[in-house]
Amino acid sequence: MKLGIHAYAWCSQWSNDTLDIIDRVKKLGLDFIEIPLMVLETFDAMAVRQRLEKVGIDVCTSTVLLNDTDITSEDETIRKKGVDYLKACVRATSEIGAHNLSGVIYSQHVKPTIKAPTEKEWQYSADCLRNVAKYAQHYNVRIGLEPVNRYETFLINTCSQALRLKDMIGEENVKIHLDTYHMNIEEKNFYDATMQAGKDLIHYHLCENDRGIPGTGLVNWDDIFRALGELNYQGYAALESFVDMTDNMNTWVWRRLARNGDTLVHEGIAFIKELMKKYNLGTS
């Protein structure tokens, strides 16, 4: 298993001013960094790739769709803009040498709605993502669908729903990205959902139920790592914890969850590495 961390552990927006985070992740003995592609206009892929190669560390990317890129919108122009944005994310992912792009890429993140998704909205999402997935195949990029909780999306809250959309898309490079923070709200248990993802699992966000330090809350970590061990999981797993709220996107963290960022990172990594050792999931 590849163990890494999301850049938002230290920054609220990625830029060339935050390239030193790559060095910091390497010094922590981690395998990769997860870089957000929220602001492509200022994303310097060449600078990122050069720093990654210099430091010698792996990378994956993630993003979310917003109201003007919502591929479940009734407005065809907005859906097209969403497809174009995701294709740009695919290119950026490839340009930095990464092969996994995932996140809330199937509908607007925190879409204001008071009704369940219609079959038309499911189909809009599947059709748009099929377009993106076929495009991504030319770049050797896999697309990960990340279920998130009911307050952040109306479309995919569980692993089974993500698998349904994957089947509707029908492309082999569409995979599953699970997140323990959201699973803690939406799944019946962590073990079954992880096993359900099975061979389609390519990314895992390791978060405590309050987004704080893993191992200090309610998440059943043994169930998660028992499943990952049985699957002999060799994919990416990133800590995605926050000390406090970021400026770039809603994290809904209104209080300090650790003494500081270094405490959160060091204690979280130590806890996860013990679980990896216990369930024979050595880093690659």
Residue 44's Cβ-count burial label (10 Å; 0-12, 13-18, 19+) is: middle
Crossing angle of the two packed helices 76-95 and 45-55, in degrees rounded to 10 = 30
pLDDT attached to residue 258: 75
Spell out a b/e string for 168-191, using b for 16 or more CB atoms within 10 Å of the CB, else e.
ebebebbbbbbbbbbbbebbeebb
Give the pLDDT score at 242: 64
> How far apart (Å, rounded) are the C-alpha atoms in residues 180 and 79?
29
pLDDT in tens, 20-73: 999 999 999 999 999 999 999 999 999 999 999 999 999 999 999 999 999 999
Which residue pairs from 38-43 have beta carbons closer than 8 angstroms and sit at least 24 positions apart in sequence?
A: 38/13, 38/14, 38/63, 38/64, 38/248, 38/249, 39/13, 39/14, 39/15, 39/248, 40/85, 40/88, 40/89, 40/92, 42/15, 43/14, 43/92
pLDDT at residue 284, rounded to an integer: 52
**CA dist., res. 142 & res. 145, Å (int):** 10
Residue carrying the six token digits 């390239």: 19
Residues shown for the chain: 284
Q: Which residue has the tokens 């923070």?
A: 181
Per residue in 215-228, pLDDT tens?
A: 999 999 999 999 99
Per-residue pLDDT tens digits of the chain, which is 284 residues long: 999 999 988 888 899 999 999 999 999 999 999 999 999 999 999 999 999 999 999 999 999 999 999 999 999 999 999 999 999 999 999 999 999 999 999 999 999 999 999 999 999 999 999 999 999 999 999 999 999 999 999 999 999 999 999 999 999 999 999 999 999 999 999 999 999 999 999 999 999 999 889 999 999 999 999 999 999 999 999 998 765 455 555 667 777 777 777 888 899 999 999 999 999 998 65
The domain defined by 2-278 carries CATH number 3.20.20.150: yes
Q: What is the pLDDT of residue 13?
A: 86
In the prediction, which pLDDT does 11 show?
A: 83
| pLDDT value of position 10 | 85
State how far the alpha carbon of 17 is from the alpha carbons of 21, 47, 133, 251, in Å. 9, 11, 31, 22
pTM of the model: 0.96
**pLDDT at residue number 243:** 54
Nearest to 53 by CA among 14, 27, 8, 22: 22
- What percent of the chain shows pLDDT beyond 70? 96
CA distance 155 to 108: 9
pLDDT, residue 246, reads 52
